[in-house]
Amino acid sequence: MTHISADHPVLTFINVFTVKPENQDRLVELLTSATDVSVRYAAGFISSSLHRSTDGTKVTMYAQWRSLEDYQAMRDDPKPLPYLQEALKIATFEPGMYEVVKTFEPVQA
Protein backbone atom coordinates (compact mmCIF):
# COMPACT_ATOMS: atom_id res chain seq x y z
CA MET A 1 0.00 0.00 0.00
CA THR A 2 1.14 3.54 -0.73
CA HIS A 3 0.71 6.22 1.93
CA ILE A 4 0.65 9.86 0.84
CA SER A 5 1.44 12.39 3.54
CA ALA A 6 2.96 15.86 3.60
CA ASP A 7 4.73 14.91 6.84
CA HIS A 8 7.06 12.38 5.22
CA PRO A 9 9.85 13.89 3.12
CA VAL A 10 9.69 11.68 0.04
CA LEU A 11 10.21 12.52 -3.61
CA THR A 12 7.15 11.66 -5.70
CA PHE A 13 7.09 10.81 -9.39
CA ILE A 14 3.75 10.97 -11.20
CA ASN A 15 4.31 9.70 -14.74
CA VAL A 16 1.34 9.78 -17.10
CA PHE A 17 1.51 7.43 -20.09
CA THR A 18 -0.87 7.98 -23.01
CA VAL A 19 -1.77 4.90 -25.04
CA LYS A 20 -4.33 3.50 -27.45
CA PRO A 21 -7.02 1.59 -25.55
CA GLU A 22 -6.13 -1.66 -27.33
CA ASN A 23 -2.59 -1.37 -25.92
CA GLN A 24 -3.46 -0.40 -22.34
CA ASP A 25 -3.27 -3.95 -20.96
CA ARG A 26 0.11 -4.55 -22.62
CA LEU A 27 1.46 -1.27 -21.22
CA VAL A 28 0.35 -2.28 -17.72
CA GLU A 29 2.21 -5.60 -18.19
CA LEU A 30 5.39 -3.88 -19.35
CA LEU A 31 5.46 -1.37 -16.49
CA THR A 32 4.74 -4.18 -14.03
CA SER A 33 7.65 -6.20 -15.42
CA ALA A 34 10.02 -3.23 -15.29
CA THR A 35 9.08 -2.67 -11.66
CA ASP A 36 9.31 -6.33 -10.67
CA VAL A 37 12.73 -7.02 -12.25
CA SER A 38 14.46 -3.83 -11.16
CA VAL A 39 12.71 -0.96 -9.41
CA ARG A 40 11.59 -2.96 -6.38
CA TYR A 41 15.20 -3.95 -5.66
CA ALA A 42 16.58 -0.41 -5.86
CA ALA A 43 17.94 1.35 -2.78
CA GLY A 44 15.66 4.20 -1.77
CA PHE A 45 12.54 2.87 -3.51
CA ILE A 46 9.62 3.33 -1.11
CA SER A 47 6.47 2.40 -3.01
CA SER A 48 4.69 2.72 -6.32
CA SER A 49 1.13 2.32 -7.53
CA LEU A 50 -0.02 1.66 -11.08
CA HIS A 51 -3.31 3.11 -12.33
CA ARG A 52 -5.31 2.44 -15.49
CA SER A 53 -7.73 5.09 -16.75
CA THR A 54 -11.32 3.99 -17.10
CA ASP A 55 -11.42 5.30 -20.71
CA GLY A 56 -8.47 3.11 -21.70
CA THR A 57 -6.23 5.95 -22.89
CA LYS A 58 -3.87 6.43 -19.94
CA VAL A 59 -1.72 4.52 -17.48
CA THR A 60 -0.24 6.47 -14.57
CA MET A 61 2.54 5.38 -12.22
CA TYR A 62 2.65 7.08 -8.81
CA ALA A 63 6.05 6.35 -7.25
CA GLN A 64 7.79 7.42 -4.05
CA TRP A 65 11.56 7.60 -3.62
CA ARG A 66 13.85 8.57 -0.76
CA SER A 67 15.93 10.92 -2.93
CA LEU A 68 16.73 12.00 -6.47
CA GLU A 69 20.13 10.31 -6.18
CA ASP A 70 18.46 6.96 -5.46
CA TYR A 71 16.09 7.39 -8.39
CA GLN A 72 18.90 8.27 -10.78
CA ALA A 73 20.97 5.30 -9.62
CA MET A 74 18.04 3.01 -10.49
CA ARG A 75 17.86 4.57 -13.95
CA ASP A 76 21.39 3.28 -14.60
CA ASP A 77 20.24 -0.35 -14.19
CA PRO A 78 19.92 -1.97 -17.66
CA LYS A 79 17.53 -4.75 -16.57
CA PRO A 80 14.24 -2.87 -17.07
CA LEU A 81 15.28 -1.29 -20.37
CA PRO A 82 13.75 -3.92 -22.71
CA TYR A 83 10.36 -3.42 -21.04
CA LEU A 84 10.62 0.37 -21.06
CA GLN A 85 11.76 0.47 -24.68
CA GLU A 86 8.80 -1.67 -25.73
CA ALA A 87 6.51 0.54 -23.63
CA LEU A 88 7.68 3.65 -25.46
CA LYS A 89 6.84 2.00 -28.79
CA ILE A 90 3.16 1.97 -27.85
CA ALA A 91 2.91 4.97 -25.51
CA THR A 92 4.09 8.50 -24.93
CA PHE A 93 4.76 9.73 -21.45
CA GLU A 94 4.79 12.92 -19.47
CA PRO A 95 6.99 12.71 -16.38
CA GLY A 96 6.65 14.82 -13.26
CA MET A 97 8.70 15.06 -10.05
CA TYR A 98 6.85 16.42 -7.03
CA GLU A 99 6.67 17.10 -3.34
CA VAL A 100 3.40 16.65 -1.45
CA VAL A 101 1.96 20.01 -0.38
CA LYS A 102 -0.88 18.70 1.74
CA THR A 103 -3.55 16.05 2.03
CA PHE A 104 -7.25 16.67 2.58
CA GLU A 105 -9.65 14.55 4.59
CA PRO A 106 -13.46 14.65 4.55
CA VAL A 107 -15.23 17.01 6.94
CA GLN A 108 -17.87 15.00 8.71
CA ALA A 109 -21.23 16.77 8.39
Which residues contact its own copies (rule: CB under 8 A)? 1-6, 11-12, 14, 16, 28, 32, 35-36, 39-42, 45-55, 58, 60, 62, 94, 96-107, 109
Q: How far is the CB of 42 from its own copies (least distance, A)?
A: 8
Q: How far is the CB of 87 from its own copies (least distance, A)?
A: 14
Q: Which of 1, 2, 6, 3 is nearest to 98 (CA)?
A: 6
Between 40 and 81, name the residue whose CB sits nearer to its own copies. Answer: 40
- What residues have CB less than 8 Å from 40, skipping those under 6 apart? none
Pairing outcome for strands 11-19 and 58-65: antiparallel
